Structure 1
Amino acid sequence: MRRVRYDAPGGPLFLEQAPIPEPAPGELLVRCEAVGVTLPVVRKVREAAEPVALGGEIAGEVVAVGDGVTRFRVGDRVTGLCFGHAYADFACLGEGMASPVPEGACPVDAVALVRSGLVALGALEAAKPRPGEAALVTAAASGVGQVAIRVARLRGARRVVGAVSDPAKARFVRSLGADEVVVYGDDWGEPVDYVLDAVGGELLTPALAALAPGGRLVAFSSGGGSVRAYDLLVGAKIMAGFQLGRIAREQPELYESWRRELWRWFAEGSVRPAVHGEFALEEAAGAHALIEARSNLGKVVLRP
């Protein structure tokens, strides 16, 4: 099979021939039909001290199952997060991370909706939204951000603000349902009740400043960063971190309920994630460049 890898921090990415993996106990072997490209993986290529497996969301057909698998069988269509080599013709997926793909959804729909949607919905739940509140979503044009805007509205937000790196993204973000669009470095306007931050780093400070007194900031990015305790204290503000993997491991029933809700919204037409582009495996470097430049409008997907 074909697989994308790299040999040194920073790349370059290249295709190699590799044996088809064998599923370990509790794993599914999936013929990959779509692979989601994420900012954390792009960052790992640039920043990790040693080369790492290029993981990501995958969707495709189960072609083999490991010992102990009970929920899926050969021929099922599934999607989920692969922590090993995902940029490949075949990949192994843990049964606990797998979700069935319903009729009417294509593989690209699946990778654009499920993982990004679970992060968006989980971060929103961590913010404990109340009907009638105002929300702000950073990285609003990203794979997660676009879903977060929609689910914030579905959860009763009266006003949704999208924050972006480039004003050229404003039209796209408004098409998702945002009432306003603001640009990093500019005035973010009227305070909001909660912020869902997918960027981190230096953006945490303005994100915290955008909150009204008593507001909540949920950070779920791999970008690091810090805030001053005084800035929390003076406005009685709350900051929380959200990690989807912890929910998957420790609260599988909640994780599954979120998946069902996302697919229900998809079937109703309430949440239909946008896809910026589809790339062949040999074009993985171009997909990474698009994400790194923060120029994507929606999800970026590889099509093995």
Structure 2
Amino acid sequence: MRRVRYEHTGGPLFLEDVPVPAAGPGELLVRAEAIGVTLPIVRKVTEAAEPIPLGGEIAGEVVGAGVTRFAAGDRVTGLCFGHGYADYALLNATMTSPVPAGASAVDAVTLVRSGLVALGALKAARPAPGEAALITGAASGVGHLAVQLARLRGASRVVGAVSALALGKAEFVRGLGADEVIAYDSEDWGEPVDYVLDAVGGDLLTPAVTALAPGGRLVAYSSGGGSVRAYDLLVGAKSVIGFQMARIARNEPGRYERWRGELWRLFAEGALRPAVHGEFALEDAAKAHAAIESRSNLGKVVLRP
């Protein structure tokens, strides 16, 4: 089978021919039909001290199983913690779910993992109907779903923050239901909001906290690091909440499963519309990474073996 790999920090990415792996206990061997490209993986390629397996979100057909819950021929989506940029991948069975009839592999890989992060971050903010929301990374794979979910949860005003208003981002985010769209470097972030879902981190944390109304909450789920001054929280009785999807998946499988069911229900009702920026061939993985590195993507970036 073909597999994407790199040999040193920063790449380049290249294809290699390797044997198809075998499913062990608790694993599924899946013929990949769609592979989600995520910012954390892109960052690890450019920043990690040693090369890592390119894992992540996979959707496809089961061809071998080390569990009884799934069988060959089942269509599933789940997480690969090893080499996922490949024709075949091993998925963790506990973090895998069926793909409903009528949904494509691209729908699944766009909706489930990114949607789980968006939904989980939103729930961590404990939104009340009528509150105002600010979503950073609003045009990203997670952010574009978070904008829609905030509106569905009763936000009175949704502000989308993006890296730049060019490249069609402002129109894209407004089309998702945002009332306002701002650039990260804007001097005026508008009226205060009750909660922020932050996918960016780093230097953006300071203006994000400033954008909060007194008593506001910032949910940080970014891999971008950064810090917040305690004084900035103290003076407005504001709070920062960390959210990590992996912890929910490992420690609260029941909640994880309920959230997946909620996402598929919203999708089936037409209330949640996953958007795909582009579908790239496996040999074009570097181009897929470049779309995310340049922050030009509008929605999810997907590899199609």
Counterpart of 1:112?
A: 110
CA deviation map 1:208-264 (0-9, x unaligned): 000000000000010000000000101000101100000011111100000000000
Counterpart of 1:185?
A: 185
Unaligned runs of 5+ in 2: none
Letter in structure 2 aligned against 1:242: F
Letter in structure 1 aligned against 2:111: L
**Superposition deviation, residue 137 in structure 1:** 0.2
> 1: distance between equivalents of 2:156 and 2:190?
16
CA deviation map 1:186-209 (0-9, x unaligned): 111000000000000000001100
Counterpart of 2:174?
A: 174
Letter in structure 2 aligned against 1:63: V
> 1: distance between equivalents of 2:133 and 2:108?
26
> 2: distance between equivalents of 1:227 and 1:271?
32
> Is 1:131 paired with 2:102?
no
Identity in percent: 76
Number of residues paired by the alignment? 302
Letter in structure 1 aligned against 2:13: L
CA deviation map 1:26-70 (0-9, x unaligned): 00000000000000000000000000000110000000001xx13
SS of the residue aligned with 2:142?
Answer: helix
SS of the residue aligned with 1:64?
Answer: strand
Counterpart of 2:257?
A: 256
> Is 1:201 paired with 2:202?
yes
TM-score (norm 2): 0.98
Counterpart of 1:152?
A: 150
> 1: distance between equivalents of 2:101 and 2:273?
15
Counterpart of 1:213?
A: 214
CA deviation map 1:110-167 (0-9, x unaligned): 0000000000000000000000000000000000000000111111111100000111
TM-score (norm 1): 0.99
Q: 1:57-68 alignment to 2 at 5 Å?
A: 57-66=57-66
Letter in structure 2 aligned against 1:177: G
> 1: distance between equivalents of 2:50 and 2:195?
37
Letter in structure 1 aligned against 2:82: G
Letter in structure 1 aligned against 2:217: R
List, as ranges, runs of 4+ consecutive aligned residues in structure 1 with deviation greater than 3 Å.
Answer: none
Letter in structure 1 aligned against 2:94: G
Letter in structure 2 aligned against 1:206: P
| C-alpha RMSD of matched pairs (Å) | 0.5
> 2: distance between equivalents of 1:81 and 1:61?
14
Counterpart of 1:73?
A: 71
> 1: distance between equivalents of 2:68 and 2:196?
39
Unaligned runs of 5+ in 1: none
